[in-house]
Amino acid sequence: GQQVMQIPQYQHVQEGEDFTTYCNSSTTLSNIQWYKQRPGGHPVFLIQLVKSGEVKKQKRLTFQFGEAKKNSSLHITATQTTDVGTYFCAGRGTTDSWGKFQFGAGTQVVVTP
Amino acid sequence: NAGVTQTPKFQVLKTGQSMTLQCAQDMNHEYMSWYRQDPGMGLRLIHYSVGAGITDQGEVPNGYNVSRSTTEDFPLRLLSAAPSQTSVYFCASSLSRVNYGYTFGSGTRLTVV
């Protein structure tokens, strides 16, 4: 079955630095979503990617969907303390309904001032 | 709009007891899902629904039942609680549209002793 893997599991970042987290699927995806979960909170939707090679930006966050639609990345520039949390990707297989998104294990981001 | 409302927020059960976790949304979303979150494992899909009267299994359905008699409500039933079901449970809802992600409830923290 489909597996969605995220690396790294943990990311310690100095405030002001950039970092990237990666999401890889064992099968081709129809679309991929990214979520952020603050400590003690619930996941909050950030963005959805649908097209091969798609790149979307939200202020300091850049999301990319691979050409083969099997991987994705989230790049954060000039990290701030407000970026603390766990970032999840969630992928939907090409034969799966909209209800069947599979989440990766997440990248937990810790920011050092 | 209240969004996605989950009750209770906390629950302690004894092994073998049954209970229902409630989930309601007021956004007229067609899709609803239940996830469990365990440390280091991300969110795992338990059951999902693509509309009233239609449900399907996710990755980890054993020990759980669901029903969707109305668009608004999607309760999750634990048939005979086991310590392995100790987890944080999230309910989420969505529309199947581009740039539209899942809206999560605030979660239920369940402990089975």
> Nearest Cβ partner of B104 from A43, A102, A105?
A43
The set of residues, in sequence order, having a beta carbon less than 8 Å from that of A96 and lying 6+ positions away, is: A2, A30
Does pLDDT of B96 surpass 80?
Answer: no
Q: How far is CA A20 from CA A11, A53, A62, B14, B88, in A?
A: 9, 17, 9, 43, 27
Nearest-neighbour CA in chain A from B23: distance (Å) = 14
How much is the average pLDDT of B83-106?
92
Residues A103, B41, A60, B105, CA torsion sign: positive
Nearest-neighbour CA in chain B from A17: distance (Å) = 25
Distance CA B74, CA B34 (A): 9
> Nearest Cβ partner of B50 from A42, A97, A102?
A97
How much is the average pLDDT of B33-55?
93
- Say if CB B112 and CB B21 are below 8 A apart: no
pLDDT (tens digit per residue) in A55-109:
999 999 999 999 999 999 999 999 999 999 999 999 999 998 888 899 999 999 9
CB contact under 8 A, B43 and A103: yes
Q: Does B35 touch chain A (CB under 8 A)?
A: yes
| Count of alpha carbons within 13 angstroms of residue B76, beta-carbon side | 34
> From the candidates A42, A49, A54, A58, which should be mutated to test the interface with B, based on the most B CB atoms within 10 A?
A42
Q: Which residue of chain B comes nearest to A9, CA vs CA? A: B40
Residue B18's φ and ψ, nearest 5 degrees, are -115, 155
CB contact under 8 A, B45 and A100: yes
> From the candidates B99, B103, B106, which should be mutated to test the interface with A, based on the most A CB atoms within 10 A?
B99
Query: CA A77: distance to chain centroid?
Result: 14
The set of residues, in sequence order, having a beta carbon less than 8 Å from that of B63 and lying 6+ positions away, is: B78, B79, B80, B82, B85
pLDDT of residue B89: 98
CB contact under 8 A, A48 and B98: yes
**Owner of token pair 């597996």:** A3
Q: How far is CA B6 from CA B20, B89, B104, B105, in A?
A: 11, 9, 9, 6
Closest among A8, A2, A30, A35 to A107, alpha carbons compared: A8
CB contact under 8 A, A9 and B40: yes
pLDDT of residue A3: 87
pLDDT (tens digit per residue) in A4-40:
999 999 999 999 999 999 999 999 999 999 999 999 9
Query: CA B14: distance to chain centroid?
Result: 20
Does pLDDT of A1 surpass 70?
Answer: no
Distance CA A39, CA A16 (A): 21
Q: How far is CA A108 from CA A27, A38, B68, in A?
A: 24, 10, 34
